[in-house]
Amino acid sequence: MAGDTKHQWFWEALESFLGHHQLKQTKQRQVVIRHFLKLDRHVDADDLYGSIRKAGYNIGLATIYRTLNLLKEAGLVEQRLFADGRASYELLIPNLHHDHLICTTCGKIVEFENKEIERLQAQVAAEQRFTLSSHRLELYGLCARCNRTL
Amino acid sequence: MAGDTKHQWFWEALESFLGHHQLKQTKQRQVVIRHFLKLDRHVDADDLYGSIRKAGYNIGLATIYRTLNLLKEAGLVEQRLFADGRASYELLIPNLHHDHLICTTCGKIVEFENKEIERLQAQVAAEQRFTLSSHRLELYGLCARCNRTL
DNA sequence: TTCAATGCAAACACTTTGCAGTCGG
DNA sequence: CCGACTGCAAAGTGTTTGCATTGAA
> In the structure, what pLDDT confidence band is assigned to residue A133 with cuts at 50, 70 and 90?
confident
CATH number of B5-91: 1.10.10.10
Per-residue pLDDT reduced to its tens digit, A47-68? 999 999 999 999 999 999 999 9
CB atoms within 10 A of CB B101: 23
Q: Nearest-CA residue of chain B relative to A146? A: B130
Nearest to A91 by CA among A130, A124, A42: A42
Domain extents in chain A: 5-91, 99-148
CATH topology of domain A99-148: Dna Ligase; domain 1 (3.30.1490)
**Which tens digit of pLDDT belongs to each residue from B25-50?**
999 999 999 999 999 778 999 999 99
- Residue B2 pLDDT more than 60? no
Integer Cα distance of A25 and A19 in angstroms:
9
Neighbours of B108 (CB within 10 A): 16
Give the three-state DSSP class for B1: coil
* Identical fold between B5-91 and B99-148: no
Which is nearest to B38 in space by CA: B50, B21, B27?
B50
Report yes or no: B105 and B44 within 8 Å, Cβ to Cβ.
Answer: no
Residues having Cβ less than 7 A from any atom in strand D: A 18, 22-24, 26-29, 58-63, 66-67, 85; B 24-27, 44-46, 61-62, 65-66, 68-69, 84-87
Nucleotide nearest to A66 (CA to C1'): C16
pLDDT tens figures, A105-123: 776 788 899 999 999 999 9
- Provide the CB-side half-sphere exposure for B63 (13 A, CA): 15
